[in-house]
Copies of this chain bind each other. A is one copy, B any other.
């Protein structure tokens, strides 16, 4: 029996944020990538919750925080950097971005998404990855990346749903 993912448990979210920022600094340090103040700020905003946020939502929060006007390229460039470094993932079905809890190793985008509360839970299943690899191989494809987005109701929203 696997443990309930942290995003679904009550937890001290400040720890998530600090841990994500610390990992990001460490990884970028190793790689010679520059986690500038702006990029760190965007990463922190993405990590405000376990719910994916859109680029324009992030832009608005960035603008609130900085008293100066923030234009789309500012946030998109930061997001591109964070995506390249594997520090965040893009949820295609939502046009939104969410922090990656294990950026130290490259891995596919596999998410459970609650349509009610918006929470995103990253799956890390070797069996799932292998099944996908096998199917890809059977069709003769060379696999480069894969993205799985499962939509439904998280345990909380499931139990409070009465319609």
Seen from chain A, the residues whose Cβ lies within 8 Å of a Cβ on chain B are 1-2, 4-5, 8, 92-93, 110, 112, 114-115, 121, 123, 125, 127-128, 131-132, 135-136, 138-155, 158
Contacts and interface: CB of A to CB of B under 8 A. Distances in A.
A62 B49 CA distance: 43
A93 B138 CA distance: 22
Contact of A139 (B4, B92, B93, B145): B4
Given A92-B93, A93-B92, A131-B127, A2 B138 contact: yes
A40 to B, nearest CB: 28
Given A128-B135, A135-B128, A139-B5, A153 B148 contact: no
Contact of A8 (B121, B135, B140, B155): B140
A115 B144 contact: yes
- In terms of DSSP, what is the predominant structure of the interface of chain A? mixed
A70 B144 CA distance: 37
Contacts of A138: 1-2
A111 B1 CA distance: 30
A142 B147 CA distance: 19
A155 to B, nearest CB: 4
A128 B131 contact: yes
Nearest to A144: B152
Contacts of A92: 92-93, 149
- Give the 8 A-B CB pairs with smallest separation, nearest first: A140-B155, A92-B92, A144-B152, A146-B150, A142-B153, A143-B152, A131-B131, A142-B152
